[in-house]
């Protein structure tokens, strides 16, 4: 495979500048309130130049979804280590909760949910990323059940969804907290809750 030319490199850099500018606009003004002109202005390029790369702001959002998939991969890599299911799950919770609690991720998630209610196509852009994480957590739960270190879950897929919901809601709660728990303490509490929930019941 040949190395990219200077022109191809420049085009890719400009494309990424547009994506970064769009993210800034979405975070500052909201997705619905942001137009392509604002994105072009933020990126420091002409409107025509933006259209050379993207057909509109939904196409930019699709590119953001693709980049989100890249950000998802390290978490999938953590979950793929199923030799010690409990330790792996708790390590994943620490890493993903920290990621979900970043202010920019909380704001973008709120924007995404809001727009997805009115536009299912936007929801579909990110659903595959979410589904891949749920599937990986579910696989780990199944491995833990097979090994006897997890309790028997009637529906591991639903349990995996609940774990992901807990992680996302923790990020939201920490974002709006006013003088509440520190992030590390809140994540530790969540890990302890999940640890108790997944272990087999103690025989009496």
State the Cα angle at 127 between 29 and 103, rounded to 5°: 40
Question: For 132-165, what is each residue's pLDDT tens digit?
Answer: 999 999 999 999 999 999 999 999 999 999 999 9
Q: Say yes or no to pLDDT of 1 above 50.
A: no
pTM over 0.85: no
pLDDT of residue 204: 63
User: 180 falls in which pLDDT band (50, 70, 90)?
Assistant: low
Name the average pLDDT for the chain. 88
pLDDT of residue 104: 87
Structural domains present in the chain:
1-54 (1.10.10.60), 65-198 (1.10.357.10)
């Amino acid at each position: 495979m040949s190395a990219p030319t200077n022109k191809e490199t420049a085009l890719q850099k400009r494309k990424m500048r547009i994506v970064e500018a769009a993210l800034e606009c979405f975070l500052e003004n909201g997705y619905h309130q942001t137009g392509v002109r604002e994105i072009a202005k933020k990126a420091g390029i002409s409107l025509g130049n933006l259209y050379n790369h993207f057909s509109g702001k939904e196409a930019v959002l699709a590119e953001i979804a693709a980049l989100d998939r890249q950000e998802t991969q390290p978490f999938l890599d953590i979950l793929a280590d199923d030799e010690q299911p409990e330790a792996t799950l708790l390590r994943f919770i620490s890493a993903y909760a920290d990621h979900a609690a970043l202010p920019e991720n909380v704001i973008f998630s709120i924007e995404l949910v809001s727009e997805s209610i009115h536009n299912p196509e936007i929801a579909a852009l990110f659903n595959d990323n979410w589904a891949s994480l749920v599937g990986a957590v579910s696989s780990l739960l199944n491995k833990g059940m097979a090994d006897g270190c997890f309790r028997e879950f009637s529906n591991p897929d639903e349990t995996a969804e609940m774990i992901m919901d807990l992680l996302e809601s923790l990020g939201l709660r920490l974002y709006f907290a006013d003088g509440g728990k520190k992030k590390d303490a809140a994540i530790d509490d969540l890990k302890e809750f999940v640890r108790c929930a997944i272990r087999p019941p103690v025989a009496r």
